[in-house]
Structure 1
Amino acid sequence: MCADTVAVIPKFRNLWIFALALSCLIINAAAQDRNQTQVYVTESCLEKPFRCPHPKIQFYLYTRRTQEEPEFIDVLDDNALYYTHFNPRHPTKIVIHGFGGGRNLSPSPDIRKAYFTIGEYNIIIVDYGSAVKEPCLSQMEWAPRFGGLCISQLVKYLLRHPRGVRPDDIHFIGYSVGAHIAGLVANYLRPEEGKIGRITALDPTIFFYAGTNNSKDLDPSDAHFVDVLHTGAGILGQWHSSGHADFYVNGGTRQPACVGSPTIFQTLACDHTKVTPYFIESITTTKGFYAGPCPNLFTYLIGWCEPKDSEYVLMGEHVSHKARGTYYVTTNAKPPFARGFPGKGRSAATGEYLGVRRRRHVPKF
């Protein structure tokens, strides 16, 4: 009823959004008043014992050879990795889904399939889907920390295993609350164990992460390189920058592909979820999502940002790890979303865009 009213009377849209944001802050405060024991006893969707490894937080390895038959990684079995097709010479990606997700639910399958179209990878999907389904949202305050602790066991397992890899060689990809969980993993790694190589945060959720406590959410200190894509900023996603390079797609909110959704709720959800198709396309695109530096949204909207050619960087999988600051990028309303380089960088002979030069993965020996 409320959603239909807002959709019909546009002038109330901003007021409704403000009320929604205020409600989120109230819910956040109420959740923080409850201690961890109360949540465990009365509302938890995880069963005891509450220690890692936990049966509802599992790790599945996918390779090109095992796309249809993923291999379970048991971090308590020192020989488990020997029984899998894990190859330390291939890049390792760890994917952490968001609320209502799972290893067989979008975007997890789409991300891994995109990678396998361009090369050999170790794709590890963290499946904690049963812990983030309705009515388990009460766990939002403590569950990410618990998830980060359990995932850190996987990272340490790969570190000490003869066929494993160091944290510095691991790329985490986290969507929504999964982005914060990726950052929380860093809290459980000792300096001598190394540092996560890269974290790609896909529209980190704003719920229960509106504060400035960097030990609870994502920040640049969590990895050697942290890149963040914002598509539902200020509503379901965070607005503030939280990485070395933050990319605000189409201004960071109000995605053009979401215009025309039946209700305001569907529009807001669409803005938040649209980040995953953008990132997935960035893996395989030959055009590229080229983003230019810009200090703020206002300057971007009025067209005052005119970067030099050398200042543009690719957003997504092939981003330069030297990128720093705030960037804005515009997409098409329909797939393919990537527009390529903004009006330049095209062949003098054909006028066509020259394409993305992907970084080659050099095998380790």
Structure 2
Amino acid sequence: MLLWFLSVVVAVMVCEGLGRDCDDFTDLGFHDSFIGTKLKVKILLYTKDNIDCGDEVSHHNLTSAPMFNLTRRTTFVIHGYRPTGAPPVWMGKIVRQLISQDDMNVLVVDWNRGAANINYLIAVTNTKKTAENITSFIQVMQANGASLSSIHMIGVSLGAHISGFVGANFKGQIGRITALDPAGPMFTGTPPEDRLDPTDAQFIDVLHTDMDALGFRKPLGHIDFYANGGADQPGCPRTIFSGKEYFVCDHQRSVFLFLCSLNKTCNITAYPCTSYTDFLDGKCMNCDTFKPAPCPTFGYYISEWRDTILRLNQTKAFFSTNADPPYCRTNYLVDIVPWNKPIRWGVITIKMHSGEDVAEAKIDHKAAKFEKYKGTTLLAQFDKHLQTVQKISLQFSTQNVVGPRYKLRVLRIQIRPLESSDGPGLCRYDIILEENVDVSFRPLPCEKSDF
């Protein structure tokens, strides 16, 4: 808290020493959105020396912002549609977290006077005009020695397509574009020149969180991440009676997941796969195409896998999250060899215990088939990570409301961690599972012969 206070004091002192107040993001209201406003683009500079005090940069004279050091890398942050006219709630967080990663320039593109309009079509029209404005600004940066490859553009919703238009103006020489749930309405079905596409930058990573409503469904980058399949996000309301959150929660989750990757509260491992169903079925867990690197980690640090991703040309990757921060789940592969002669169909719930701490995984997206002596492999996604596991509980269910209660006899179960090297995994042998009854046991380290 003290460090934060001192940073604010220093930022204010710097701004006061330069004889100017902090420049703020344009704050409009619903009245402005209703009557409409004329597009005006402001570019606000933030650095380690003014992390909480924006400094508006002249489009034509960069010396108007003495803290703008073009030898540093530069990250543009571009917001999307603002129907209420209010500033994005996440803007200050993303600025601070970016600067905490590296000594960089963060340029917030404030085009709120073009995005705040109840008529979405007008905001869409203003995206290309905003892109032209940013293009002219970058040309001035180039004239003063900046390198296009050192520029990273982070665009949210409509901001993702603005980033693409800017990148296209520089014939794909911008270093990186991160697109957070690119807008779908008015862009779906359009040609590449009218939206973001993989030729707009040297490297493009995309996150999809609301592809069935406000977001874009198809891949748009070199790697496209689909959180929870890319549509409905856990914890977001499912009925219109929840008000505004019903419309924005899935869409806005893209920003909060990216923030999670910046503050390193958890590393979200993503798995290249053809579909979310195959991912949930545990068919895409080995990342063979990414050798010698492991499966990629979603978010800010995905550039570490850049060379492999570019070699693969265009990759879709999937992951699942929890409903609340820090969002990440811990993935295990579960191999079950049943003994029952009759084939059983059902779902499995696994709980890991460490003292009073419990991590749970419900493998219930579809009924699994358990056939005598034939191994069944399942993906178990636990809601938290436990350093040590003292006890495991299993429950088998056919999910039948009426009818007999079945048993499932398991000759062997193996539970193997996917994202850590916590040894060879956990095993147990010869267990009888009564339907809808928790069966607990102390796990044993697996032998090499089990694999």
Q: How does 1:308-319 map to 2 (within 5 A)?
A: 308=287, 310=293, 312-319=295-302
Shift of 1:283: 1.0
Shift of 1:90: 2.9
* 1:66 matched residue in structure 2: 50
Task: Confirm or deny that 1:177 pairs with 2:158.
Answer: yes
* 1:240 matched residue in structure 2: 218
SS in structure 2 of the partner of residue 174 of structure 1: strand
Q: Is the 8 A contact 1:288 1:340 kept in 2?
A: no
Q: Is the 8 A contact 2:36 2:117 kept in 1?
A: no
Q: How does 1:266-345 map to 2 (within 5 A)?
A: 266-285=245-264, 287-308=266-287, 310=293, 312-319=295-302, 320-322=305-307, 323=309, 324-339=314-329, 343-345=417-419
Kindly indicate whether structure 1 or structure 2 has the higher relative contact order, using CA contacts under 8 Å at least 6 residues apart: 1
Using the alignment, how far apart are the partners of 1:268 and 1:252 within structure 2?
Answer: 15
Q: CA 1:72–1:273 in 2, change beyond 3 Å: closer, same or farther?
A: same
SS in structure 2 of the partner of residue 65 of structure 1: coil
Task: Confirm or deny that 1:156 pairs with 2:161.
Answer: no
Range 120-129 or range 93-102, more displaced: 93-102
Using the alignment, how far apart are the partners of 1:340 and 1:125 within structure 2?
Answer: 34
Runs of 5+ unmatched residues, structure 1 = 1-42, 48-53, 352-365
Q: CA 1:268–1:251 in 2, change beyond 3 Å: closer, same or farther?
A: farther
Aligned residues: 294
* 2:19 matched residue in structure 1: none
Query: Could you state the TM-score of these two structures normalised by the residue count of structure 1?
Result: 0.73
Using the alignment, how far apart are the partners of 2:62 and 2:327 within structure 1?
Answer: 44
Aligned alpha-carbon RMSD (Å): 2.6
SS in structure 2 of the partner of residue 147 of structure 1: helix
SS in structure 1 of the partner of residue 96 of structure 2: helix
Between Structure 1 and Structure 2, the one with more strand by share is 2
Runs of 5+ unmatched residues, structure 2 = 1-33, 333-416, 426-451
Between Structure 1 and Structure 2, the one with more helix by share is 1
Using the alignment, how far apart are the partners of 1:326 and 1:347 within structure 2?
Answer: 25
Structure with larger Rg: 2
Shift of 1:113: 1.4
SS in structure 2 of the partner of residue 185 of structure 1: helix
Q: Is the 8 A contact 2:167 2:200 kept in 1?
A: yes
Q: Is the 8 A contact 2:77 2:108 kept in 1?
A: yes
Q: CA 1:97–1:336 in 2, change beyond 3 Å: closer, same or farther?
A: same
Deviations 1:3-62 (A, max 9, x none): xxxxxxxxxxxxxxxxxxxxxxxxxxxxxxxxxxxxxxxx99454xxxxxx7x1110100
Q: Is the 8 A contact 1:176 1:205 kept in 2?
A: yes
Q: Percent identity?
A: 29
Query: Could you state the TM-score of these two structures normalised by the residue count of structure 2?
Result: 0.60
* 2:118 matched residue in structure 1: 135
Using the alignment, how far apart are the partners of 2:235 and 2:163 within structure 1?
Answer: 28
